[in-house]
Amino acid sequence: MRVGHVTDLHVHGHSGVSPWRFANKRLTGWANLRFHRGAIHKTSIARSVLESLAADGPDHVIVTGDLTNLALEPEFELAGQLIEALGLPPERVSVVPGNHDVYTAGSFRARRFEGFFGKHITSELSGSGAYPFVRLQDGIAVIGLSSAVPRLPFVAAGRIGRDQLAALGRVVAEPALRERFPIVLVHHPPYNAPSPLKARLEGLDDADLLEAALAPLGRGLVAHGHLHRRIHRRRGPLQVVGATSASLDSADPDRMAGYNLYEIEGGVLVRVTARVLDAPGGRFREIELPVS
């Protein structure tokens, strides 16, 4: 079983969007995009990443949020087209939202992300459209969480919340999970930076509660995005692996665009590799990440 992991596509495209829709938090986001983010996040790179991943023939693809920049419909449409181009049936592509996918309170209330990606968040163990969703495929159980909540400008922190943690508690006790390798999808990493300010502005409010809720799994992979860098941590019984942004053009090899591949055999994660783009329009090289 080969699972591909892409994240933080941050596609942008605002043609046809009324200027009035930028008269809120999006104004700061638009300025960031105009003067900084747009220059380093390139949709053409995200397209190359997804083409390369499709050529690797994954059995399942996971996408851990921030598919858009400002949670606008044209961005969701474009991100959906990129994912569609993988050529996989929707039950084999699982997607969770990031903070940019609920950029405004209005987009969160309208459940815009769920409207566009409903077919990728169906659940076999709970009601579809709710989190966590659970999707069973051969030897894996994909558990999708939402850490995405709208925030004030310049705050990118996430939260799982009490209701979702309670539902997660019920999910991890399901017998169907015992014989399958669990892969947990969450946009924010389930641990915070040592700096309290950084944790408050960019981290996960209830990271400790999430780790405690996942501990009964006893094994598994937690796949996340948000940090825009490749990162691997062993946290108790769990492997926690972050992929970099799929659209990021960076001189830092840990941040340059790419994707991760996870090989699971006999209920065990046996290999973690990353494909790293050499340069925009260039080839991908493979690096191996430690498994234990």
Q: How far is the CB of 242 from Fe ion (least distance, A)?
A: 11
Helices (H) and strands (E) in the chain, counts: 10, 12
User: Cis before residue 196, ω within 30 degrees of 0?
Assistant: no
Find the part of the chain contacting Fe ion (CB under 5 A) among 2-10, 117-125, 170-178, 189-197: 2-10
Cβ-proximal residues to 164 (8 Å cutoff; 6+ apart), any chain: 131, 132, 145, 146
- The answer to whether the CB of 137 falls within 8 A of the CB of 196 is no
If binding is defined by CB under 5 A, does position 98 make contact with Fe ion? yes
Considering the complex, state which of residue 139 and residue 150 has its C-beta at the smaller distance from Fe ion.
Answer: 150
CB of 55 to Fe ion, least distance (A): 25
The candidate with the shortest Cα–Cα distance to 130, out of 99, 103, 101, 166, is 166
Q: Please tell me the distance from the alpha carbon of residue 148 to that of residue 156, in angstroms, as a whole number.
A: 9
Minimum Å gap between C-beta 285 and Fe ion is: 23
**181-240: contacts with Fe ion (CB under 5 A):** 226
Rounded-to-integer distance, Cα 102 and Cα 109, Å: 9
CA 84 – CA 132 distance, rounded (Å) = 23
Residue among 43, 48, 69, 99 that touches Fe ion (CB under 5 A): 99
- Find the shortest distance in angstroms from Cβ 101 to Fe ion: 9
Stretch that binds Fe ion, among 40-48, 62-70, 191-199, 230-238 (CB under 5 A): 62-70
Residue in 1, 3, 6, 8 binding Fe ion, rule: CB under 5 A: 8
Among 14, 33, 62, 66, binds Fe ion (CB under 5 A): 66
Contacts with Fe ion by CB under 5 A lie at: 8, 66, 98-99, 226
